[in-house]
Structure 1
Amino acid sequence: MRAHILGTGFAVPDGVLSNSDLEKMVDTSDDWILSRTGISSRRIADQKTAASDLAYLAACSALEDAEIEPQQLDMIIVATMTPDMPMPATACLLQHRLSASKAAAFDLNAACTGFIYALAVAEHFLLSSHYKYILVVGAEVLSRVVDYTDRNTCVIFGDGAGAVVLGKDEGDHGILATYLAADGEGWDLLKIPAGGSRYPASAETVANRMHYMQMQGSEIFKFAVRVIPQCAERVLERAGLAIEDVDYLVLHQANLRIIQTAAKKLNIPWENVLVNIDKYGNISAGSIPLVLAEAVSENRLKKGDLLLLIGFGAGLTMGAALVRWSR
């Protein structure tokens, strides 16, 4: 018995923030952004759109693709670092909007690795309990926590959501293995300092811009290119497979240079790497399910393809999943 991806979906807001737009907002240029990130544009939500709104659209698309009704869902997991509010969970708001009345619902925050963590949690629930269908969503509105006076971060991040519906079945397809890890020593490299119990919101935290994302970009780059091969090795070992067996590499869309470096280290041809960071930017927990769902919508995947999914991000967190495509 294995957990299978029955359906995929994604949603991005209509608003587009191009590099030329950013040139008017901060000291940067199209060439500077492209050479360092590979990003040409990113999607930005309007002020009325929250994470649950994008999650809902992606979830509806995934449910339709899976031919599953919301009332059939047993659980909803939303991976996000930009929830609608500190409480209740965004997953509960999504459950209500979907009318998925019998589904348990909770959020999970592992930053950019969030979808991989949520996928692994969902797999274990499916295989060790009576749960039949689980909705996993990665959704972010990062434009709310980006400092648009900091050219090193504001050029990177965008808004969007991706979703998968999981079920279970016999056979050798589906989720073959997962691997999760963390390195809390690097907690300070990527953070939003204020808004929690350490530094609750105050006039001082707002004045000091402590509610915006802070990132040591060069250190995050070094971390990513180091741990991606490690994650690949661990998850492949658990499945008894080799890197040569992989048909598609599905990385967190953090930075094009990271993706290119990782593909070379893993010796995976560029045509076998799923990439959409150029038009959407870094969507944290939403990036992996979004690039996966977009590939499905473009009919790039075929039954039997082996997908290597790898995430990495704040925490520091990292993880991987190996999926034999079953559709």
Structure 2
Amino acid sequence: MPNTIIIGSGSYLPERIITRDHFMDSEFYSDEGELLTKPNAEVIQKFVDITEIENRRYIKDGEVNSDLGARAAEEAIADANISKEDLDFIIYASNFGDVDENGMSNFMPSISSRVKNKLKIKNRKCINYDMIFGCPGWVEAMILADTIIKSGKGKLILVIGAETLSRVTDPHDRNKMIFADGAGAVVVKATDEENVGMISDKTVCDNAEELMFLENSPSLNKSAEQKTLYIRMHGRKIYEYALKNVPDAIKETIDAANLDIDDIDKILIHQANAKMDYAMISRLFKLYGKKEYDHVVSPMTIQELGNSSVATIPTMFDLIRKGKMANQSFKEGGNIVFASVGAGMNINAIVYRFPTKK
């Protein structure tokens, strides 16, 4: 049975850098629909203290999600040194598709097919899939790619994660400061080399009372037009759910790979909110009897890039792989974890082992 290895990566960060000053004139409302009377500077500072998000990237006018994804894909294909016509599949993870400047979400034709068109791929046997799975979408797309490769149905797959959350946020919701835009992509390939690539994975879907912890709903400002739906987070419930369930899922994935936490060089976890990420990683290490951990093991991009949903992990992977993150690198033969949690609620994790150069 073949294994699945990453042979190329790419990412695209929109040029617009949005600082805290961007939100100083916002009119914020509570979850109960009450106008917040605290000065915006105080509201924003409290937000930064919890999330650590100082900056985020927003897409330019006239662009859409698939434009970002196509740029990241072009870079990944070039980095992999392959012909785009040799791709067997394109799997595109997003939650809102191509959102226009009025907040209208568009999924027809599919985003993966639009990217195939933008890449000018002529191969009719290159199959396109969209993955709608919440923030864990890119990780789940990787799991799907691995399943396809192990089944023998494909040998070369492009996996993209891209989102433009700046266009689906309520202007009156403080949580809009969390969200950002961006894209990341990898090319994966079948290999006969043993004990490399994606060596274990796990997916958990809790879709009962957890279903609407992340949802679309009208503006918090009851005086605003209520027909438009925006992304809405029930933060406390998400935090409690993630802290209880994500560390266990990651540990089970590491255990399935017959590894210990000391064998893991990096944990690339979805950049949701710094406080939550720190808590989840800390709880994971405690499951192994360790009270503390070296934070270099779990890199963070959220402080400067915000939460771009499915794009956070592939973007971070690409930046580290290409030496663009200070004090971060991967090593030959090293083991890393990809892990995410998000709307659904869904959780997933992968243990990935880098091949050793020959």
TM-score scaled by structure 2? Answer: 0.85
Question: In the alignment, what sits opposite 2:67?
Answer: 53
The 5-angstrom pairing of residues 124-135 of structure 1 reads 124-135=147-158
Q: In structure 1, how many angstroms separate the alpha carbons of the residues matched to 2:83 and 2:217?
A: 40
Q: CA contact under 8 A between 1:274 and 1:292: conserved in structure 2? A: no
Deviations 1:255-314 (A, max 9, x none): 001111122222342011121000111111111111111111217112112111111000
Q: CA contact under 8 A between 1:71 and 1:99: conserved in structure 2? A: no
Q: In structure 2, how many angstroms separate the alpha carbons of the residues matched to 1:23 and 1:292?
A: 33
TM-fit CA distance, 1:144: 1.1
Question: In the alignment, what sits opposite 2:354?
Answer: 325
Question: In the alignment, what sits opposite 1:197?
Answer: none
The 5-angstrom pairing of residues 185-224 of structure 1 reads 185=208, 186-193=210-217, 207-208=225-226, 210-224=228-242
Q: In structure 2, how many angstroms separate the alpha carbons of the residues matched to 1:54 and 1:270?
A: 30
Q: In structure 2, how many angstroms separate the alpha carbons of the residues matched to 1:242 and 1:302?
A: 17
* One of 57, 60, 68 as aligned partner of 1:43: 57
Q: In structure 1, how many angstroms separate the alpha carbons of the residues matched to 2:243 and 2:318?
A: 24
Question: In the alignment, what sits opposite 2:182?
Answer: 160
Q: In structure 1, how many angstroms separate the alpha carbons of the residues matched to 2:170 and 2:132?
A: 21
Q: In structure 1, how many angstroms separate the alpha carbons of the residues matched to 2:188 and 2:129?
A: 16
The 5-angstrom pairing of residues 297-308 of structure 1 reads 297-298=322-323, 300-308=329-337
Question: In the alignment, what sits opposite 1:66?
Answer: 80
* One of 39, 46, 71 as aligned partner of 1:32: 46
Question: In the alignment, what sits opposite 2:112?
Answer: 91
TM-fit CA distance, 1:209: 5.2
Question: In the alignment, what sits opposite 2:205?
Answer: 182
Structure number with greater Rg is 2
After superposition, the Cα gap between the structure-2 partners of 1:87 and 1:31, relative to the gap in structure 1 and judged at 3 Å, is same
Higher helix share: 1
One-letter amino acid of the structure 2 residue matched with residue 95 of structure 1 = K
TM-fit CA distance, 1:100: 2.4
Percent identity over the alignment is 28
Paired residue secondary structure (1:192): strand
Deviations 1:74-131 (A, max 9, x none): 1000000021212111000001111223210011101101011100000010111241
Q: In structure 1, how many angstroms separate the alpha carbons of the residues matched to 2:27 and 2:217?
A: 23
Q: In structure 1, how many angstroms separate the alpha carbons of the residues matched to 2:212 and 2:270?
A: 20
Q: CA RMSD in A?
A: 1.7
Question: In the alignment, what sits opposite 1:270?
Answer: 295
Q: CA contact under 8 A between 2:251 and 2:284: conserved in structure 1? A: no
Q: Which blocks of at least 5 consecutive residues in structure 2 are unaligned?
A: 29-39, 99-105, 286-292
One-letter amino acid of the structure 2 residue matched with residue 17 of structure 1 = I
TM-fit CA distance, 1:47: 2.3
One-letter amino acid of the structure 1 residue matched with residue 26 of structure 2 = M
Paired residue secondary structure (2:77): helix
After superposition, the Cα gap between the structure-2 partners of 1:190 and 1:209, relative to the gap in structure 1 and judged at 3 Å, is farther
Q: Which runs of 4+ in 1 moved over 4 A?
A: none
TM-score scaled by structure 1? Answer: 0.92
TM-fit CA distance, 1:237: 2.2
Q: Which blocks of at least 5 consecutive residues in structure 1 are unaligned?
A: 195-203
Paired residue secondary structure (1:58): helix
Question: In the alignment, what sits opposite 1:314?
Answer: 343
Number of residues paired by the alignment? 316
* One of 143, 160, 165 as aligned partner of 1:137: 160
Please say if 1:111 is aligned against 2:134: yes
